[in-house]
Amino acid sequence: MAHKPTWDYSDKPGAKRFPHLFKPVKIRNLTIPNRIKYAATEDNLNDPSGFITPAGLEYMRERAKGVVGGICCMQGVYMDPKREGQGYVGQAAAWDDRYLPGLTKMAEAIKGEGAVSDYQLMHCGRVGGVDIDHCVGPSLVPQRLKIFRPVKEMTREDIRRTIKEHAEAAKRGSQAGFEMMEISGIVGYLLSNFISSYTNRRTDEYGGDIEGRCRFMVDTIENVRDAIGKEMPLMIRLCAEELLDEVGGNTPEESMVSYKLAEKAGIDCISVTQGWQESGTPVITRDIPQGKWLYNAKRAKEAVKVPVSMAYRLFDPAIPNKAIGDGILDIWEMCRPMIADPHMPKKVLEGKLDEIRPCVACNLCLARLFRDAPMTCYVNPICAHESDPSWQAKPAETKKRIIVAGGGPAGLEFAYVAASRGHEVHVFEQEDRLGGQIWYAGKGLYGDEELMGMITYQQAMCKRHGVDFHLGQKVTPALLDEESPDSLIIATGVKYGHPTVPGIEKHPLVSALDVVEGKATVGDRVVIWGGKKPAISAALILAEKGKKVTMVFKERKVGKDVNPSYIWRYIQKLGNKGVKTYKEADIEAFTDDGVIVKALYETRIPVKCDTVVYAEREPVRDLEAAAKEKGIEVQVIGDALVPRSLSNAIHDGYRTGIRI
């Protein structure tokens, strides 16, 4: 059956540039007009009892608009009244008919935007039991991550009941009007717990070799198929490579056996994933090159005949377009890119690539979920506020002439948002380029160049909304007299400073910015004075060049301002590069051959070095007093308010832009 309405992409620039993304694909008897899918992600926006909320509904509606006729999958539902399968406090439920009205509204919202509505069954297994004192799994294998609950081993009766609950919840999804069905078996959820030799130590019919370990999956697929009938397409998300080598787990060859068994059991499409939440190998961070995991899609295509889909580091549409053209992928899945910009595929189709708000692979969205907080996005301030009118940019009641001092992410975000509301906005930047601190951060190692995509986007949006740029011009009191603005937005960012300590003249001092930019002359032995993001970037750059690096900082841990999804990676990299750290410490004095570090318990430690790199930031807001004296409305945003992150800068700029 063909999906309605019919989509015609023939005259769209994106369809000509990326022809393989915008051609039909057939899954069972359902013809889908393009190869794009919004992959299910938990948003924690639903009622704690599992009911769909307006916030969750509008969040999904925006993503349905964005896939321009493709597949839009709602977040996975948990299916048991005991809530053992519930992995997130705001996860939707489907274990009773009382949830049908909300699920029906969700299906209608997705279909109402012309997208194919997809419904996911997700028992979180050893990642579940979020609100109770245990989770469940095939065997009593201890958790590697402390945030998860103790595991309770499932009996045969538990297994049979869980399979039945999958089937009953699937039937409700069908009754709600969804057009596709999906089973989640990824990242350490229940199906993957049974399939993996790491977590399945059973000796009965649900354990043993790979075929025995897949029996729970096979029985679940067959029961779900019986519940939804022969016509509805049935997908499954399965791990192609567990990346659990340090604790055992399946070989990639065993994973392909699970793919073949799923196909034989009645699956119509397989979503290829890699890695568990317990894996020690990163999978979706910026240090993983885009397209890296496509070899697993290729293996899957060689193992099964059903269509294969994939997400995971496929942000650039050129990569999946080529993969589909090369025959190693059938469907391009997106999760985090469409959290960052729900209309990303639509903009690809329209040829507006520079207007795509880019995901920077920070994984703050996931970090929030594991802290039982509603989803938010590092770069998209409206994320999770789609249903709240107060978060939308509306025409300004009084049009103002506004000067923005600073062309970094805070100033640029404010500029285009305010301009879109009808204000006259002028951005003054003292450098001959835009980007602020992100211009430097983008020169970091391990994929940090992707950060500059945010500046490219903001520039494009400023151009679209008529923002005037004045590069190489610093805002001064005299300029304020000349320009006479109604409002001044201070987004002047930070400067790098250091305290004066005894003997400081004995050693050359350089800024972390000069290190990152490659302008600094640095000796072989380096002390980094600071422990936050700029310090980490400088330390890794220098360590990569073979320098002996020591970090000295006042905080209790390195990277206090780094989000949880990344800090473990940075700590690992610093350790691998031999970087020594002194926490809760400071430089007390400089000597002829180094520095004296005042460390814990009032200890003094001499550290030999040739160069000291200062990496602490101070806000720059010199204009504030002068502007207020002139009667100009003043607002301070971004690092000029408090040195923080790219996310804080963007959110500051957006919120100020919609309110001024």
The predicted-structure confidence for 279-324, as pLDDT tens digits, reads as follows 989 999 999 999 999 999 999 999 999 999 999 999 999 999 999 9
Confidence (pLDDT) at 4: 54
Model-wide pTM > 0.85: yes
What is the CA angle 146-148-153, rounded to 5?
A: 120
Closest CA to 141 of 61, 219, 207, 78: 207
Q: Is the dihedral of CA 286, 291, 295, 299 positive or negative?
A: positive
Count of beta carbons in the 10 Å neighbourhood of residue 351: 15
Confidence (pLDDT) at 408: 98
602 contact partners, CB below 8 Å, separation of at least 6: none
Report the pLDDT averaged over residues 320-331.
98
Interatomic CA distance for residues 631 and 647, integer angstroms: 31
Copy the structure tokens of residue 411. Answer: 């100033």
Query: Over 50: is that where the pLDDT of 2 sits?
Result: no
- DSSP characters over 306-362: S-EEE-SS--STHHHHHHHHTTS-SEEEESHHHHH-TTHHHHHHTT-GGGS------
Report the pLDDT averaged over residues 89-109.
97
- Least confident residue range of 366-370, 480-484, 535-539: 366-370
What is 396-493+621-659's CATH number? 3.40.50.720
Query: Over 70: is that where the pLDDT of 5 sits?
Result: no
> In the structure, what pLDDT confidence band is assigned to residue 138 with cuts at 50, 70 and 90?
very high
Confidence (pLDDT) at 245: 87
Q: Are 183 and 166 in contact (CB under 8 A)?
A: yes
CATH 3.20.20.70-classified regions of the chain: 13-369
Q: At 48, is the secondary structure helix, strand, or coil?
A: coil
Query: Over 50: is that where the pLDDT of 1 sits?
Result: no
Q: At 645, is the secondary structure helix, strand, or coil?
A: coil
* Alpha carbon distances (Å) from 236 to 76, 185, 307, 575: 12, 7, 11, 38
- For the stretch 469-514, pLDDT in tens is 999 999 999 999 999 999 999 999 999 988 899 999 888 899 999 9
497 contact partners, CB below 8 Å, separation of at least 6: 614, 616, 618
Interatomic CA distance for residues 460 and 620, integer angstroms: 26
The residue ranges of DSSP E strands in 418-472, in sequence order, are 424-429, 468-471
Computed over every residue of the chain, the mean pLDDT equals 96
Half-sphere exposure of 183 (CA within 13 A, CB side): 35
Peptide bond into 5 cis (omega under 30): yes
Closest CA to 486 of 407, 429, 428, 426: 426
- For the stretch 588-644, pLDDT in tens is 999 999 999 999 999 999 999 999 999 999 999 999 999 999 999 999 999 999 999
Interatomic CA distance for residues 225 and 267, integer angstroms: 9
Instruction: Tell me which CATH homologous superfamily contains domain 13-369.
Output: Aldolase class I (3.20.20.70)
CB neighbour class for 489 (10 Å; exposed up to 12, middle 13-18, buried from 19): buried
CA 233 to the chain's CA centroid: 28
Interatomic CA distance for residues 60 and 103, integer angstroms: 12
Query: Over 60: is that where the pLDDT of 3 sits?
Result: no
Confidence (pLDDT) at 112: 97
Q: Are 531 and 555 in contact (CB under 8 A)?
A: yes
Count of beta carbons in the 10 Å neighbourhood of residue 424: 16
Length of the chain counted residue by residue: 660
The residue ranges of DSSP E strands in 406-545, in sequence order, are 424-429, 468-471, 487-490, 494-497, 509-511, 525-529
> In the structure, what pLDDT confidence band is assigned to residue 6 with cuts at 50, 70 and 90?
confident
Report the pLDDT averaged over residues 70-86.
97
Query: Over 60: is that where the pLDDT of 540 sits?
Result: yes
- For the stretch 255-280, pLDDT in tens is 999 999 999 999 999 999 999 999 98
- For the stretch 15-64, pLDDT in tens is 999 999 999 999 999 999 999 999 988 899 999 999 999 999 999 999 99
Copy the structure tokens of residue 189. Answer: 């959820």
Q: Please provide residue 158's backbone torsions phi and psi, each rounded to the nearest 5 degrees.
A: -60, -45
CATH 3.40.50.720-classified regions of the chain: 396-493+621-659
CATH 3.50.50.60-classified regions of the chain: 496-618
Tokens 């040829």 found at: 351
User: What percent of the chain is modeled with pLDDT above 90?
Assistant: 93
What is 496-618's CATH number? 3.50.50.60
Report the pLDDT averaged over residues 231-237.
98
Q: Report the largest interatomic distance among the alpha carbons of the chain, rounded to a whole angstrom.
A: 83
Closest CA to 76 of 52, 100, 41, 109: 41
